[in-house]
Every structure is written in C-alpha cells, then in structure tokens.
Chain A
C-alpha cells in the first residue's frame, strides 16, 4: 500500500506572530480575570467564616484581609470583577449578533478597559 502523502498544510498563526490588538487583549483578559477572581472569593469567604466563628479567628482573618496583602487581593479583585462584568455584558451584546464589525469591536474593547478602571475607583470611593 502506498505511503500516505504528507502535505504541508498552512498552520494557524500563533500568539507570538499575531499583532496585539484591543479585542484580542480584552478577550484574553476576560478569561484571566474570571479565573483570578477565585483568589478574592477565597479570601472573602475565609474572612466571613472567621467572623461567623469567634473573636480570635476573626482577629486573625481580619488582620490578613485588611493588611497590604488583603488590600492588594481585594483591589485587584475589584478591578477584575468590573472588567469581567463589562466584558461579560459585551459578550451578551456580541451573542445577540451586534457590534462584530472591527471599529465597533475596538471601541467596545476600550470601553471595557477604561470603564473597569473608572468603576473600580468609584467603588473604592463609595465603600470607604
């Protein structure tokens, strides 16, 4: 039987070859923020469990949650949740068949990036 012919097929371009653009960056960030958020949720739930348990346990968890480390996790999570939020709304808008042309998609990407920072700052000011 004849050998199967090896055909040189074109490969899909990889991340290193693509020129970075805003819709691509925001799409990747959506996945990263969604998964990174589990860190903030873990810290929040641990803190809540400690509050439900005892004064000593709460003192420990609260010290971590309000330390520079806790501030870092919660501030990062706050930006991540707002970015994921806006990107999710954009996803619903895309799913309905809208905004798929390149200029609109670029604008929506920028809206996610800038909007998430603005909402993060507003939230921090509101809950102070």
Chain B
C-alpha cells in the first residue's frame, strides 16, 4: 500500500518524469558557454594555421588550456543533452535507445580525447 497521494507523486514531474531538470541543465550549460565560447574562438582561431611549436606554446599556457577544457566538457555535455532531445523527437523504441547511447558515447569520447591532448600539451 502506498501512503503517498497521487498528487504528491506527480508533483513537479510532468511528462518527462524529471520535471524541468533537463531544461535547467541546458540553461546552465548555455549560459556557461555564452561566456566561454567567444574568447575560445579567438584562442583556437589564432592557434590554427601555426606551426606545431606555436600550437604547443599556445595551449601550454593556463588560460587557453583551462578555457579549452571548459569549452570541451560543457560543450560536449550540452551536445549530448541536445542530441538526446532531438533523438527523442524523431525516433522510437530500440532505435531511440541505440541512437541516444551513440550520441552520448560520442560526446564522452570527444571530451576524453580533447582533455587527454590538452593535459599532454599543458603539463
């Protein structure tokens, strides 16, 4: 026997079962990226086209390295969650699950490779 009323169990959950948590996470990462991305574009764009020594020099400094790591981690999280929403809109059943697993794995993979490269250059 459940002691919770139906209303209590439903409260704040909505159709997603997690309430507005997904939306709030996207808002958080969006605001974070809004602050990070413009300066990262400048750092990356300036480094692109240089020699290997110049590239290593750029990303061995704390600001470009930490900025790039933040953009990668938050950006890939933002991508994984956005891709999940898109897949939920267009696919159902097993295809939906497989596509979401692929998108989330891809995001983690890109993030891990990027962090490895940054650590190797910066440390």
CA of A107 to CA of B15, assembled, Å = 32
Bound together, the chains give a CA A46 to CA B72 distance in angstroms of 13
A34–B79 Cα distance when bound, in Å, is 7
User: Interface readout for B49-73 with A: 1 if CB under 8 Å, 0 if not?
Assistant: 1001001100100000000100010
Give the residues from 29 to 52 in chain A that come closer than 8 angstroms, CB to CB, to chain B: 31, 34-35, 37-38, 41-42, 44-49, 51-52
Asked if A88 is an interface residue, CB under 8 A from chain B, the answer is yes
**A89 and B116 contacting across the interface, CB-CB below 8 Å:** no
In-complex Cβ contact of A123 among B30, B42, B79, B116 (8 A):
B42
Q: Is the interface of B mostly helix, strand, loop or mixed?
A: helix
A127 partner, pick from B42, B52, B79, B83, beta carbons under 8 A? B42
Establish whether residues B34 and A48, one from each chain, have CB atoms under 8 Å apart when the complex forms.
no
Inter-chain pairs besides A45-B113, A85-B33, 10 sampled, C-beta below 8 Å = A31-B86, A34-B79, A37-B79, A42-B110, A48-B59, A51-B55, A51-B121, A58-B55, A78-B45, A88-B34
- Residues of chain A at the chain B interface (Cβ within 8 Å): 31, 34-35, 37-38, 41-42, 44-49, 51-53, 55, 58, 62, 65-66, 74, 78, 81, 85, 88-89, 91-92, 95, 123-124, 126-127
Q: Can you pick out 7 interface pairs between chain A and chain B where the beta carbons lie within 8 Å of each other? A: A41-B75, A45-B110, A45-B113, A51-B52, A52-B118, A58-B55, A89-B34
